[in-house]
Structure 1
Amino acid sequence: MMISSICFIFFLILSSSYAAVQDFCVADYTAPPGPAGYSCKNPSDVKVDDFVYSGLGVPGNYSKLNKVRLKAAFVAQFPGLNGLGISLARADMEVGGVVPMHTHRGASEVILVAEGKVIAGFIASDNKAYVKNLKKGDIMVLPRGLLHFQVNAGDTRALVFASFSSDDPGVQNLEKSLFQNDLRTELIAQTTLLDSAEIKKLKGLLGGTN
């Protein structure tokens, strides 16, 4: 009986200490974000809709260049994710569509093929490529910080959902980094071994200068 009473009291103390811990930190978009992310909204102002996001129910804006529609549910769009270390995205790829080479500095990624057939892969730091043909229901993990891609490998539209191990995974697109900038063409040629004429062509296509 004495042991049971002690355990009960310990449980009450432990429960009280947990109650003092903040359960969540819904993003306050009225305050500027800092290096650590968004400030927390006053708990009294938090609503259930802060934890619900309906944006992934429809495709995103269409990229004619890559034949893909991308839609993100990161902390900038979904305040309830703030500080939780998770997020989602949607990619609708038309026939021939591509999610081009890119990296996420802050997250690993898991993709789920919901419709169609997709070739997906990543390049490890030792330059070994890991590539797989995926079908509906397949998932693949893309490790943090590594270049990766997806290509529609079928003759119908492909739909892919992606989850990330960060509420703000960040993204750096390889083609935009190289050709949508004001870095001089000759420097890009010297540092990539690409032909200057092709670099200028791609800069013109993607909006780069110099």
Structure 2
Amino acid sequence: MTAGPDDEELLSRTARDPASFEPLVQRHSTALHGYFARRAPTAADDLLAELWLQAYASRRGFDPARGTVRAWLFGVARNVLSTHWRRLAATRPDLPRTAGDDDPWEAVDSRLDAAAVAPRLRALLAELPASERELLLLVAWEQLTPSEAAAVVGIPAATARTRLHRARSRMRSGAPLDLTGERT
């Protein structure tokens, strides 16, 4: 049995054959819908549709030197989600927010499976710097590699690995580190 074209080949084919985009939608919709469902469950379907519209419109901007097609799609998803949260904040200023974030983290614990540890886990996640939290969630929830997660957030892979290690250490210890690396 012969394997079909890889994601990068399919994306490049769309310049002459727009139907080549459909296998990408089929391959990645489940994972991308999960990304949205964990972060904005009531809007996940609409956000997924918006993602595919934006990804198709910007497909010529994909740069394989910056990462995989999968990582690029998660980057588009992250932008779609950020836009959603900004619009929501503008129309619903009463929603709880965590300072410095684009998303309503207070809603995360209601979607966690481990209800017994949800309050502590939510508190630990909220204490992480936003960049570390996003990397941790991209790797843990979305099953991206650290290199793919780095491409999603637009940082070097080595920086992502360092931040991911720091975030995991903080989550394991239950005590965040201050900026100097000392226990608080």
Query: Which one has a larger percent strand, Structure 1 or Structure 2?
Result: 1
Q: Which has the larger radius of gyration?
A: 1
The TM-score normalised by the length of structure 1 is 0.25
Query: Which one has a larger percent helix, Structure 1 or Structure 2?
Result: 2
The TM-score normalised by the length of structure 2 is 0.27
